[in-house]
Chains A and B, each alone.
Chain A
Amino acid sequence: MRVPREWLEAYVDLGDVSTQTLVERLATAGFPVDAVEQQGDDAVLDVEVTSNRPDCLSIIGIAREAALLFGRALRLPEGLERAGGVRAVRTPRSASRAGAPSRRGRGRSVQAAKGGPRPAGGVRARISITVEDSEGCPRFTATVFDDVRAGPSPVWMQRRLEAAGVRAINNVVDVTNYVMLEMGQPMHAFDLARVGGRRLIVRRARPGETLVTLDGVTRTVDEQSLVVADATHAVALAGVIGGQDTEIGPQTTAVLLEAAYWFPPGVGRTSRRLGLRTEASSRFERGADPDGPILAQRRADLLLADVAGARLVPGVIDLYPRPLPRAAIRLRPRRAAAVLGVEVPRREMVRILRALGCDVRPGAASLAVRPPTNRPDLTREEDLIEEVIRVYGYDRVPLTMPRGTTTPGRVSVPVAGERRVREALIRSGLTEVMTLTLVAAEPPAAPAGGGPNGAGSIVAAAGDVRLTNPLTVEHAALRRSVLPGLLRVLATNASRRQQDVHVFELGRVWRAGEPGGRPDERRAAGIALMGRWRWGWNVPADSAVADFYHLRAVVDALVQDLGVAGELAVRSSTSYLLHGAAWWHPGRVAVATVAGREVGRLGELHPDLVDRERLPYRPCVAELDLDLLLEAAGPIRTYAGLPRYPEVDRDLAVVLPETLAAAEIERLIRSTAGPLLETVELFDVYAGSPVPAGHRNLAYRLRFRAPDRTLTAAEAEEIMAEIRTALEDQAGGRLRT
């Protein structure tokens, strides 16, 4: 809300208050000033108004706050004084208030022209108003002016409007805008001559109904939105914007002036539906003053007479069949003290609430408070407590610590689990990254069978969780894997000449659930290694570059660190696709399982992807299902004792076919050796002459130990002989000596 000081001071005397002091005081009362703009010799304050304070989307609203904060009197302009503040809406000029429509019962349709006495030549002879939806439009007022001389408004008015950020158009429109800015009630002026049938109907839009709005845009209104229509078609979008058809122009001589109170969510809905936010809609959707329309009519009458020579046709049409109830609130000073932790003196409470326009009747234990109609936000005791403390000063509330016992907080299981994983991966030397979980919606995959549920169908897009209202196509769906985000991190770094990148990410991934159901949300860990790993001068680059086995060691360490129950097994995977596209190197991808359950995949990136992303090395990446992994994690590790008897080490070299997986060989060695074999350490893998083609030589160091005695060399030799035999007979191995 742009507030020119000069205009503000028309209602409150602040001559001795510097702009800086004003800005600071407003901020402490909940109206931070974003900027102060110097315009000639005037300063314009850009005041931030929270959405619960539609009353302060007006100069008078801010003036009321300023008057209260500086202990000054608020001077309301002619036409806007409220006698007693309650129902001072009966202006002497509106002698012919619509024949007591409130007594017309529960009928949803209110027709002013038919009700009540009707003075000859009055407003009712000029226009008939029907409200078909009195829930959407609880109050509708109309006046008619003759002898209007449309033209520019006076300089003082134009200046104030423009300082407040509203373009001057002509005197009639300017008066409606002036009133809106001054007291917060939006109004709309129609050229009466162009209102077909001399009638206005407030109704729901018809199917496919269109309207050219004042901004020149043709808009199609949906059937739930309210329009103001003449005999034939919509002439305004209720509470949002007027139509071009009935716009005030130089030829206008008779003006129909509308001021209404619209059901706030209705305006909010229409405004959002059309993506159209206007000065009017932003006030109505926050909840305007139900008594505002009639006050605005009075004020506009005075101004129009002044600036456009207009003459009011006697009478005000005021359709308000069921006056909105006003809150009656009991404010208990003891409750206020209990909520705030500070005792605000009762007389101070009374002063503040009265200055805000409330009726306050002090009782023995509580104050009976009726807020003014322009404060729809005040409905409960807490609302009043906030008003009191807001003005009294948040800084007068002491700083205390909660009473009662405090026990140390607990860390929930999922949070603790995530912390463990993070720490383990950091210990492996990885840097944590966080990437956007919003990704581009992948184009639906080509249908495999080309059946009737083919391209573009739900089947094709199954799995993706898409947004209905994305901002950009790049951020239109939720990720199903953390890996594409990590690939982007690698590519970003590579493009910036950062070629050694070892990172991980912990985050969530999603998959569509049942139609209409909650999408499946799981936690995942992604790991990506690219480039040199523990590298230094004189370390040959080819032995420093991270490969699949470095990655595997990271996964091993994580599983070990978590104390996962059950053995981690890694076996080669036949699938190298991620979401239907080639992702992994087909010969260098593995599935990791814990106790037989698949917990993730790891492998080298497909060379095509490496080329496409212009990566300097072939990265190795892994994705693990954290929910599964943490489910298997053990909370506390126990001490198993240190060995008490010496070990016997023996080396073993065996030539085996390359196709025989190392895991199989190790399993064979272990199962043959039995419990006295403590560790199996592979220390050499060699292929090439003199090893025959298709074979490789594997060299192991085996450590034997007995838990209860000193193992003899002879015993170890006996086991070694069995292992050699097993390797020869069961695996076709040739032993080297």
Chain B
Amino acid sequence: MENVAWIEEIRTQATRDIELADGEPALEEIRVRYLGRSGRITRAFRDVAAAPAEERPRLGQAINQLKDYVELALARRREVLGQAARATLAAAERIDVTLPGRPLAHGRAHVLARTAREITEIFRGMGFDVEDGPEIESDHDNFERLNIPPYHPARDAQDSFYIDNTWLLRPHTTVVDVHVMDGRRPPMRAVTSGHCYRRDPVDASHSPMFQQIDGFMVDDGVRLADLKGVLYEFARGYFGAETRVRFVPSYFPFTEPSAGMDIGCVICGGRGCAVCKRSGWLEILGCGMFHPRVLEMARIDPERYTAFAFGIGLERCAMLKHRIDDIRLFYEGDVRFLRQV
């Protein structure tokens, strides 16, 4: 096919223009100049109409080829330019990724709230309902219902704050067990956590306000062995699967037999250290089989049903697990402490 000189001229010109284009605006300008409504190639199509009839097909085909050629060249050039631009993107828009992040306010539950939740969930998994009770109790419910008559020496260990002759700040959460027993019939299992108060002057290991987790189970055929099994699962669940436990006799007026549960010292692994007073063991809870009097007062027949109960020191558990050496830290609200544990 014979080349048409003026068409070739356009081709050469367009090729040069495209090669010289240095960016999208220039390419767009070239596209308009050649392919736009009044671009040279668009106009060339109109010129075809003026050509002799026998030349029109050949001329039209040539211009179409030119059009395709220019479109392709534009596209190629655009691609080349795009690659070049991305090649400089890293340099042009680089940020210092090592600058500190813009802090989100990252909320956190209090370590004791998390501990209480974790422990109550362990018991919930063993069928214990999670209950709640008031922090002000009557002397009758708090002491007499738990087999602690007035002037009983056991009241010393639970030296309480009184509001008047009737009402006091509960010195233990065991009293919640009494309320739960009053509202239900056996079998029942429940656990509760909350504030308790005792007249202990503030020091590194005492606070007039502290928290306990208390639980109990009433059913026919509940045995001390079951208490041991349930509390062993708690110790393993909270302190780790390797935790060793031992049960030693203790005394609570509302349980008989009574026991204390020790765990192998989490600090020294049982070799003996200052925290465990060289014994290798740490006492973490008191427990026992509910005294028959306590069941009788709740109108539960102790010959038919037996029951166990336990009380765990919440701060003690959290202090051992998180290596916190001063109970006051829990209630002071220093945000640096709260973020660490």
Contacts and interface: CB of A to CB of B under 8 A. Distances in A.
A635 B232 CA distance: 35
B332 A492 contact: yes
Contacts of A470: 161
A258 B101 CA distance: 81
B167 A406 contact: no
A355 B257 CA distance: 19
Given A401-B229, A436-B331, A534 B224 contact: no
A466 B209 contact: no
A521 B249 contact: no
A404 B256 contact: no
Contact of A399 (B126, B232, B330, B332): B232
Interface string A419-453: 10010011111111111111000000000000000
B213 interface: no
B257 A521 contact: no
B67 interface: no
Given A386-B258, A431-B339, A435-B331, A471 B228 contact: no
Contacts of A521: 134-136
Contacts of B110: 432-434
Interface stretch (B8-16, B35-43, B189-197): B189-197
B22 to A, nearest CB: 34
Interface in A532-555: 533-537, 539
Interface string B92-110: 0000000111111111111
A510 interface: yes
Contacts, number: 269
Nearest to B232: A399
A394 B127 contact: no
Interface in A376-430: 380, 382-383, 385-386, 389-390, 394-395, 397-404, 406-412, 414-415, 419, 422, 425-430
Given A52-B251, A264-B151, A415-B132, A342 B225 contact: yes
B240 interface: no
B251 A53 contact: yes
Contacts of B269: none
A385 B292 CA distance: 12
Nearest to A50: B251
Interface string A614-649: 000000000000000000000000000000000000
Contact of B161 (A432, A469, A508): A469
A389 B255 CA distance: 14
Contact of A537 (B100, B124, B149): B100
A434 B259 CA distance: 31
A435 B333 contact: yes
B249 A408 contact: no
B82 interface: no
Contacts of A507: 195
Interface in A462-517: 465-472, 475, 478, 486, 488-489, 492-493, 496, 498, 501-503, 507-508, 510, 516
B107 A386 contact: no
A430 B338 CA distance: 11
Scoring B101, B229, B330 by chain A CB atoms within 10 A of each residue's CB, the highest score goes to B229
B228 A400 contact: yes
Contact of B225 (A282, A286, A398, A469): A398
Given A380-B292, A382-B257, A521-B134, A397 B228 contact: yes
A28 B247 CA distance: 8
Given A265-B152, A521-B136, A51 B157 contact: yes
Given A407-B127, A503-B333, A466 B163 contact: yes
A705 B107 CA distance: 36
Interface in A189-225: none
Interface residues on B, range: 35 or more
Contact of B257 (A389, A401, A467, A486): A389
B129 A411 contact: yes
Interface stretch (B25-33, B44-52, B70-78, B214-222): B214-222
A400 B229 contact: yes
A438 B209 contact: yes
Contacts of B232: 399
A89 B223 CA distance: 41
A427 to B, nearest CB: 6
Interface string A215-245: 0000000000000000000000000000000
B256 A385 contact: yes
A32 interface: yes
B178 to A, nearest CB: 15
B57 interface: no
B225 A397 contact: yes
A77 to B, nearest CB: 28
Nearest to A498: B335
Interface string B273-305: 000010100000000010110000000000000
B333 A492 contact: yes
B164 interface: yes
A327 to B, nearest CB: 14
Contact of A269 (B101, B151, B257): B151
A87 interface: no
Contacts of A95: none
B246 interface: yes
Contact of B333 (A338, A408, A433): A433
A519 B249 contact: no
A402 B163 contact: no
B230 interface: yes
B334 interface: yes
Given A402-B217, A469-B199, A503-B335, A395 B225 contact: no
Interface in B324-341: 330-336, 338-339
A88 interface: no
Interface string A151-187: 0000000000000000000000000000000000000
A470 B168 CA distance: 12
Contacts of B334: 492-493, 496, 498
Interface string B183-209: 000010111000101011100000111
A519 B163 contact: yes
B136 A341 contact: no
Contacts of B224: 339-342, 389, 397
Contact of B109 (A402, A411, A422): A422
A694 B164 CA distance: 56
A30 to B, nearest CB: 3
Contact of A426 (B107, B132, B256): B107
Nearest to B224: A340
B122 to A, nearest CB: 10
B129 A410 contact: yes
B124 A411 contact: yes
A54 B279 CA distance: 26
A27 interface: yes
Nearest to B180: A412
A56 to B, nearest CB: 11
A468 B338 CA distance: 33
A427 B107 contact: yes
A372 interface: no
Contact of B249 (A30, A433, A492): A30
Contacts of B112: 434
A268 interface: yes
Given A383-B256, A431-B338, A467-B161, A268 B208 contact: no
A409 B250 CA distance: 29
Given A399-B232, A400-B226, A471-B201, A518 B150 contact: no
Contacts of A699: none
18 contacts: A34-B277, A382-B291, A401-B126, A401-B229, A406-B126, A407-B127, A409-B125, A414-B132, A422-B113, A427-B107, A428-B105, A431-B107, A431-B339, A436-B209, A438-B161, A489-B333, A534-B105, A539-B102
Given A32-B248, A340-B257, A401-B229, 19 more contacts: A51-B154, A282-B153, A338-B223, A389-B224, A400-B229, A402-B127, A404-B187, A409-B123, A409-B190, A422-B113, A427-B107, A428-B107, A436-B331, A468-B164, A471-B200, A516-B164, A516-B166, A518-B138, A539-B102
